[in-house]
Amino acid sequence: MIGCLIIHGFTGAPKEVEDIQNHFAGESWLVYTPELPGHDGTRESMRDADYRAWVYKAQVALEELMKRCDEVYIIGFSMGGVIAGYLAARYPVDRLVLISSAVFYLNPKQIAEDLKGWFLEGIRGELDQNDIYRFYREKIRRTPVSAAVEFTKLVKKLRHALNDINVPTLIVQGEKDGLVPVRSAEYIYEHIRSEDKEIYFFEEAKHYIWYGSDKEAFLKKLDSFLKTPAGSENDDKRSRKRHDEDSAAETIHF
């Protein structure tokens, strides 16, 4: 049986990656998305946040999957991608997917564009109808400074593990992500040791790639990576690709 550990992001919850979980659960995989400590959606719970507890919860979940399954994959989103990379460096997992992984965070240029758009919507009286704006507004309201400090500690402590990742890895990034800049994905690609690695960009996507029009293509890309038998593609697996190149150009190999 295939086991799949999905790790959600900072201030998030299993629900935010529910589409991914349901997609692979339908394949008769054993899919588990643990709720990281303090991530029950309340500000009070996040006040006592400790990044070590987040890592430990994911680690225990991985160990349980490894006991029960023949193959184990890890999918990490945002902060969960940092944790996923750390675990993949320490445990003999079979494949790794890093989505919008926050090795670096905040993209000032894209944030400015988003704020400009929200400002114009506010003038037109349409801002409260913007689901993305309301989503992030609530996240900010329920996130104490102490929790944000724990997030930065986690990134600083675990980022070094990238150098020890030697497992087939897919890195997926939205180019209009205001929270995680493109350079984060580039950094991961350049620093992991695996020769079997791919970095894939969605040109119009933001942080939650699958929340928009790219959802189908995003899930298809994950399928392609996780369901393709090992060794069935070209020997040179190091590649970079954008979603809009799929039908018009070949993968660029390095």
What does the DSSP 8-state code read for residue 177?
-
How far is the C-alpha of 233 from the C-alpha of 235, rounded, in Å? Answer: 7
Residue with the two structure tokens 């959600």 = 8
Please tell me the distance from the alpha carbon of residue 96 to that of residue 81, in angstroms, as a whole number.
Answer: 9
Query: Which is nearest to 172 in space by CA: 162, 184, 161?
Result: 184
SS3 content of the chain, % helix, strand, coil (to 5): 50, 15, 35
Name the residue among 55, 54, 88 with its Cα closest to residue 72: 88
**Cα 61 from Cα 122, distance rounded (Å):** 43
- d(C-alpha 137, C-alpha 115), whole Å: 12
Rounded (10°) angle between helices 145-158 and 79-90: 30
Does 79 carry a binding-site annotation?
Answer: yes
Phi, psi of 161 (to 5 degrees): -65, -20
Q: Which residues are catalytic?
A: 78, 177, 207
Helix residue ranges, H only, 181-244: 182-191, 215-227
Strands 95-99 and 169-174: parallel
* 46 annotated ligand binder: no
DSSP 167: S
Binding-site annotation: residue ranges for substrate = 10, 79
Binding-site annotation: residue ranges = 10, 79
